Amino acid sequence: MSSGNHVQTKRKEIYRYEAPWMVYAMNWSVRPDKRFRLALGSFVEEYNNKVQIVSLNEETSEFNSRSTFDHPYPTTKLMWIPDTKGSYPDLLATSGDYLRVWQINDHATRLECLLNNNKNSDFCAPLTSFDWNEIDPNLIGTSSIDTTCTIWGLETGQAISRTNPVSGHVRTQLIAHDKEVYDIAFSRSGSGRDMFASVGADGSVRMFDLRHLEHSTIIYEDPQHHSLLRLAWNKQDPNYLSTFAMDSMEVVILDIRLPCTPVARLNNHRSGVNGMAWAPHSACHICTAGDDKQALIWDIQQMPKAIEDPILAYSADGEINQVQWSTTQPDWIAICFNNFLEILRV
């Protein structure tokens, strides 16, 4: 810390927002003109959930709620269109009972489309997660408890023709696992458009190619066949991805060139891991967070030597259920616990 007269000008390292409900899903906007803007999803047992858009006023150091809209079930994931140039409409997707795409305006939010691929039944199989393709923002992949992954084609309309409503159709649906699928993520390898992986209750990580969907590759299987809850690709090196099992205290790092055996195990958490996020700007940093109230940042460049300890640790005031690393501001990480959002400067 510098001498007294400089302390006033130093920007805060942590900003906190208190939501009116328990926060579960959360994500950063990637538009260049919306620097500290995030979407938050409530976790309320009733059929009465909310999504809130908040942004940091950098002059007052306070978060302000920009808008709140209804969402029947809790959002399992939220994601802004991966549009770092601001050339598409300002869209936010949410998953829950269905995949919904919303157009966000300063004072009003409009539901652009509700995507449901169980056309012939009143029953919907809840969506556990989804991913929005960074190379082609007209592709979204969803994962479901009905063992399938669905790749949706969106017609998002470029910003020039804002009058065009957003619509979507099923590009392809496939049975991805033997049991529920819990997460899906597009890979940047190849064209960055066609490869994706999924994890699920059968304990496997499977990789698919949209051009050859007749077969998949099993990259890893949990030795005890425990459910794998999340997966995340390294943002800079598409050979690496990470995953963790239900109630597990460790995150495993996999190298798709060496399937089946983790190249690293990150196991300093003292309670179950709930989330992880790779650095957007570095191939060797990842943040993990969990029920031990800790967010840990790891440097994995020594792999395959064992990674003993994290390089940074942050203790929150509650069990952390979500962590997201800002793509456009890579020195900021967001975490959620109880009804709080915190952003931390790293």
- pLDDT tens per residue, range 119-174: 656 667 899 999 999 999 999 999 999 998 999 988 865 544 444 567 777 878 87
Give 295's strand partners. Answer: 289, 314
Mean residue pLDDT of the chain comes to 89
The per-residue pLDDT for 190 is 82
Whether cis (ω within 30° of 0) applies to the bond prior to 259 is no
Neighbouring CB atoms inside 10 A of 189's CB total 15
Q: What are phi and psi of 226, to 5 degrees?
A: -70, 150
Q: How high is the pLDDT of residue 139?
A: 92
- The CA angle 291-296-300, to the nearest 5 degrees, is 130
Q: What is the pLDDT of residues 10-57, one digit of tens each?
A: 567 999 999 999 999 999 999 988 889 999 999 988 788 999 999 999
Which residue, 270, 272, 266, is CA-closest to 252?
Answer: 266
Mean pLDDT of the 314-332 span:
96
Task: Please give the domain boundaries of the chain with CATH numbers for all domains.
Answer: 18-272 (2.130.10.10)
pTM of the model: 0.91
Token pair for residue 164? Answer: 């065009």
Residues in the chain: 346
CA distances from 38 to 110, 163, 189, 341 (A): 17, 25, 28, 10
As given in the structure block, the two tokens for residue 129 are 């997660």
pLDDT tier, 316 (very low <50, low <70, confident <90, very high otherwise): very high
Q: What is the pLDDT of residues 58-75, one digit of tens each?
A: 889 999 999 999 998 999
Percent of the chain with pLDDT over 70: 92
Comparing C-alpha atoms, which of 264, 324, 331 is closest to residue 39?
Answer: 324
pLDDT given at position 207: 95
